[in-house]
């Protein structure tokens, strides 16, 4: 499983309250990757937001908002009477998010705040809903305290939703190569190295139940990609290949590395994105529960 939580470098921070470790990636490369990934992710995230049916006029929190791409989509969904707060650990990402919002027509409906999802800087019952994409659910550590912390700031009857990139098929015709490359990605390698199965994101229904959230549901959204590819999609996929598999890992054989380079590097004569029949997909999974009344 690949995801947008795979950073080559960044700053690790340990939360004093629950000992969870968070990673704030280095800014420039990461902002660029998030911007490119938006070409792939936005339609899928829009579908997830539609499925949530957020009440018009409601107030919500985008926890781990990064550069704010989804904060804006959420603000659109709740309409002019609603409000969305984007929260992130990284002041650089928040500065970027503020710039983007300033240029949009939604600046009155959006605000940003620096903070840690492990210890939210909000009172109990502040929001009607909270949502988090590729943040809560993936950091190393325990999810239960995180979910409880999200639920704490939501009003009774409100909802908490966490989403994460949950799978991809990007190399049509090469399923074994792709499976072997994927097995070395950070989201999977930790399970190869003994991470407890119940800490896998797809076990989140259990975390919701344990956190006391009611009526937990799970739903997966698919992003389809096919030729002909726009320049933006092409760049987004090149960046994704690089992010997923572009760092040679000790577990990857020489043959697989050569195949990766043959298929996934734009300068290769066999570059897979040049195929007129190229088709790929990826998924985002969303878990949601209600805060007890």
Q: How far apart are CA 251 and CA 241, in angstroms?
A: 17
Q: How far apart are CA 70 and CA 6, in angstroms?
A: 19
Instruction: Pick the closer one to ligand SAM by CB: 133 or 171.
Output: 133
Token pair 């908002």 is found at 65
Query: Does the footprint of ligand SAM cover residue 24 (CB under 6 A)?
Result: yes
Query: Does the footprint of ligand SAM cover residue 134 (CB under 6 A)?
Result: yes
Query: Does the footprint of ligand SAM cover residue 137 (CB under 6 A)?
Result: no
Query: Does the footprint of ligand SAM cover residue 118 (CB under 6 A)?
Result: yes
Query: Does the footprint of ligand SAM cover residue 139 (CB under 6 A)?
Result: yes
Asked if 51 and 284 count as a contact pair (C-beta separation under 8 A), the reply is no
Query: Does the footprint of ligand SAM cover residue 201 (CB under 6 A)?
Result: no
Query: Does the footprint of ligand SAM cover residue 86 (CB under 6 A)?
Result: no
Instruction: Pick the closer one to ligand SAM by CB: 69 or 85.
Output: 69
Exactly one of 40, 65, 78, 286 binds ligand SAM (CB under 6 A); which one?
A: 65
Instruction: Pick the closer one to ligand SAM by CB: 165 or 278.
Output: 165
DSSP-derived letter for residue 230 is: P
From the list 73-81, 85-93, 104-112, 181-189, the region that binds ligand SAM by CB under 6 A is 85-93
Q: Does the bond joining 225 to the residue before it have cis omega, within 30 degrees of 0?
A: no
Tell me how many helices (H) and strands (E) the chain has.
Answer: 9, 9
Q: How far apart are CA 114 and CA 135, in angstroms?
A: 15
Backbone angles phi and psi of 159, in degrees to 5: -130, 155
Asked if 2 and 37 count as a contact pair (C-beta separation under 8 A), the reply is no
Exactly one of 76, 116, 128, 178 binds ligand SAM (CB under 6 A); which one?
A: 116
- DSSP three-state, residue 264: helix
DSSP-derived letter for residue 286 is: E
C-alpha atoms less than 13 angstroms from C-alpha of 139 in its C-beta half-sphere: 32
Query: Does the footprint of ligand SAM cover residue 85 (CB under 6 A)?
Result: no
Name the residue with the smallest CB distance to ligand SAM.
66
**Count residues contacting ligand SAM (CB under 6 A)?**
22
Q: Provide, rounded to whole angstroms, the least separation between the CB of residue 10 and ligand SAM.
A: 8
Query: Does the footprint of ligand SAM cover residue 117 (CB under 6 A)?
Result: yes
Instruction: Pick the closer one to ligand SAM by CB: 13 or 265.
Output: 13
DSSP string spanning 77-146?
HH-TT-EEEEEES-HHHHHHHHHHHHTSS-GGGEEEEE-BTTB-SS-TT-EEEEEEESBTBSSSS-SHHH
Exactly one of 39, 93, 221, 241 binds ligand SAM (CB under 6 A); which one?
A: 93
Which residues contact ligand SAM by CB under 6 A? 4-5, 22-24, 34, 64-66, 69-70, 88-90, 93, 116-118, 133-135, 139
């Amino acid at each position: 499983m690949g995801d947008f939580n795979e950073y080559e470098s960044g700053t690790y921070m340990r939360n004093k309250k629950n000992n969870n470790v968070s990673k704030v990636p280095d800014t420039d490369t990461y902002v660029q990757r998030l911007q490119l990934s938006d070409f792939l992710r936005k339609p899928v995230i829009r579908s997830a937001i539609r499925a949530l049916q957020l009440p018009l006029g409601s107030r919500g929190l985008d926890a781990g908002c990064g550069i704010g791409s989804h904060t804006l989509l959420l603000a659109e969904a709740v309409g002019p009477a609603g409000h969305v707060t984007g929260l992130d650990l990284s002041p650089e990402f928040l500065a970027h998010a503020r710039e983007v919002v300033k240029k949009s027509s939604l600046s009155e409906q959006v605000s940003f705040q620096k903070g840690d999802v492990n210890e939210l800087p909000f009172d109990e019952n502040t929001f009607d809903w909270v949502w988090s994409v590729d943040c809560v659910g993936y950091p190393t550590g325990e999810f239960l305290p995180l979910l409880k912390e999200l639920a704490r700031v939501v009003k009774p009857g409100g909802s908490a939703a966490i989403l994460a990139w949950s799978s991809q098929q990007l190399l049509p015709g090469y399923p074994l190569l792709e499976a072997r490359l994927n097995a070395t990605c950070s989201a999977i390698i930790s399970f190869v190295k003994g991470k407890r199965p119940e800490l896998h994101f797809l076990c989140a229904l259990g975390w919701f139940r344990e956190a006391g959230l009611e009526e937990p549901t799970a739903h997966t959204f698919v992003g389809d990609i096919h030729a002909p590819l726009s320049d933006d999609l092409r760049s987004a996929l090149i960046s994704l290949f690089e992010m997923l598999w572009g760092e040679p890992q000790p577990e990857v054989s020489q043959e697989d590395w050569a195949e990766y380079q043959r298929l996934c590097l734009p300068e290769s004569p066999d570059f897979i994105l040049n195929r007129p029949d190229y088709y790929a997909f990826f998924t985002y999974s969303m878990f949601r529960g209600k805060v007890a009344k």
